[in-house]
Amino acid sequence: MSTYRQPGLVLTDHRFTVPLDHDRPGGETIELYGREVVASDRAHRPDLPWLLYLEGGPGFGARRFTGPQAWLGRAVQEFRVLLLDQRGTGHSTPANRQTLPLRGTPAEQAAYLAHFRADSIVRDCELLRRRLTGGAPWTVLGQSFGGFCATNYLSTAPEGLATVLITGGLPSLHACADEVYRAAYPRIRRKNEAHYARYPDDVERVRRIAAHLHEHEVPLPGGGTLTPEAFQSLGILLGGGSGSHQLHLLLEEAFVPTPAGPALSDAFLESVRTHLSFAGHPLYAVLHEVIYAQGPSRGHGPTDWAAERVRAEFPEFDAAKALTGGGPVLLTGESIHPWHFTTDPALRPLRETAGHLAARADWAPLYDPARLAVNAVPVAAAVYHDDMYVDTTHSLETARAIRGLRTWVTDEFEHDGVRAGGPRVLDRLLALVRDEL
């Protein structure tokens, strides 16, 4: 354990050994990393309650703060915070194109990664809680996929929870991956329409770039390929508070003149690469659809590349048809497709592994509606109106199914509200669970 300081904070690095498979506690182990954060003027207080932060994803390590930024500054006013790198992410035992071949064949890699969903993450958290808090329950703050994990926590180990705060992450208790994406594409279309209404010149900019990509093979720095479909996936930016503005700034300087005619600029392509690369978070792509899978007992079959199949039901997202018909080219959002595993060098070696996960059907259920119906843990959730990443209707259905859960439905923020307006968001949720509002 090492301890160090940042302005206003004392930070301590923790490393934990946990079973890969919690049903085989004597078997293979992996390592988890967590960063404890406490306010400098409270570091001497062992009585501070703990708050566990679960990052969105899947596949992202906990956010790296420098000082008491965003929601963290509010949290350390009364909590000792653990920023956990969930299994496979950040400083925890990594799972990526470089390390997964150590597991063997793609089928063996997929079997290994089957232990990296919310149910395993929550069992990790329970082991860590008992080691850190002396057995006392803790508060959990779950952002996006972290909220999915928190909902699993309420279903499986509520005795470990003092309070649960969820931001943009109330999942459907029942919907399969197909239903999730069938609800998603209309929301993504609305985000496109709002962006083009704000920046009408971007309609032609996007059409011009898409047409260029249909006519030219365009490599990205680092070995990726910018296909029309890959370019469309920049629409993921539209789910964040400043994302529409970021997208506009990216698009407005896409082309430069060259001796061979207009070409996409190096600066544009480098910016695109940083937005589209999965090198830093490959599990986001590999596990993205199976976070919705709950197996035959819930009526779910294999995810089978749900986003790709369901997209065919929404022909307005076909760039080639849009270019032929003269309409706007619609960008896509938080969806993973087979072509991601050919255009991105960080994912190419994992294509077969992802295929095995997409074909798997024997997933365990993630949520227990009966147990949630009698929940006794104070819970509050920020539900962002027309959230591009998590369906508002699904979230509100789940809110009604969890006894005692209080919601704050707002269109003040997009999906990243806890980062964009962190102190206010955390203040509001804490007031809700404490019946101060």
| DSSP annotation string for 276-316 | H--TT-HHHHHSTTGGG---GGGT-----SHHHHHHTT-GG
pLDDT, position 238: 97
Strand order of the β-sheet with 138-143 is: 2-6, 9-19, 29-39, 80-85, 50-54, 138-143, 161-167, 379-384, 406-410
- Give the pLDDT band (50/70/90) at residue 381: very high
The CA distance from 25 to 30, in Å, is 11
- Residue extents of the structural domains in the chain: 2-173+367-433, 177-359
Digit-coded pLDDT (tens) for 121-150:
999 999 999 999 999 999 999 999 999 999
Residue 43 Cα distances to 7, 39, 72, angstroms: 13, 6, 15
Tokens of 216: 């030219």
Do 154 and 161 touch, CB atoms closer than 8 A?
A: yes
Tokens read off for 250: 């990216």
pLDDT of residue 421 exceeding 90, the answer is no
CA distances from 159 to 30, 78, 258, 279 (A): 25, 21, 65, 37
The single residue listed with the structure tokens 């006519």 is 215
Measure the CA angle with vertex 69, ends 68 and 75; round to 5°. Answer: 60
Q: What is the mean pLDDT of the chain?
A: 96
d(CA 144, CA 240) in angstroms, rounded, equals: 12
Confidence of residue 422 (pLDDT cuts 50, 70, 90): confident
Structure tokens at 82: 């653990």
Cβ pair 329, 232 in contact under 8 A? yes
Q: Which pLDDT tens digit goes with each residue over 193-230?
A: 999 999 999 999 999 999 999 999 999 999 999 999 99
List, in sequence order, every residue forming a beta bridge with 9; answer none if it has no partner. 6, 39
**Could you count the other beta carbons within 10 Å of the beta carbon of residue 136?**
13
At 67, the pLDDT band (50, 70, 90 cuts) reads: confident
Tell me the per-residue pLDDT of 94-111, one tens digit each, with 9 for 90 and over. 999 999 999 999 999 999
Q: How many CB atoms lie within 10 A of CB 358?
A: 21
Q: Is 198 exposed, middle or buried (0-12, 13-18, 19+ CB in 10 A)?
A: exposed
Please count the helices (runs of H) and the strands (runs of E) in the chain. 18, 11
Mean pLDDT over residues 375-380, rounded? 98
- Class of 2-173+367-433 in CATH: alpha beta
Q: Average pLDDT of 250-261?
A: 95
Range in 117-126, 289-298, 416-425 the model is least confident about:
416-425
Give the tokens for residue 173: 């208790």
- Distance between CA atoms of residues 390 and 284, nearest Å: 15
Amino acid at 257: P
256 pairs with which residues across the strands? 263
Contact 398, 151 (CB under 8 A): yes
State the maximum Cα–Cα separation within the chain, in Å, rounded to a whole number: 70
pTM, full prediction: 0.97
How large is the average pLDDT for residues 308-329?
95
pLDDT at 291: 98
Beta strand pairing call for 138-143 and 9-19? unpaired
On the 0-12 / 13-18 / 19+ scale of CB atoms within 10 A, 324 is: exposed
Active-site residues, by number, are 144, 362, 415
Q: Rounded to an integer, what distance in angstroms lies between the CA atom of residue 207 and that of residue 44? A: 59
Q: Let me know: does 387 contact 147? Beta carbons within 8 Å.
A: no
Which of 371, 380, 378 has its CA nearest to residue 401? 371
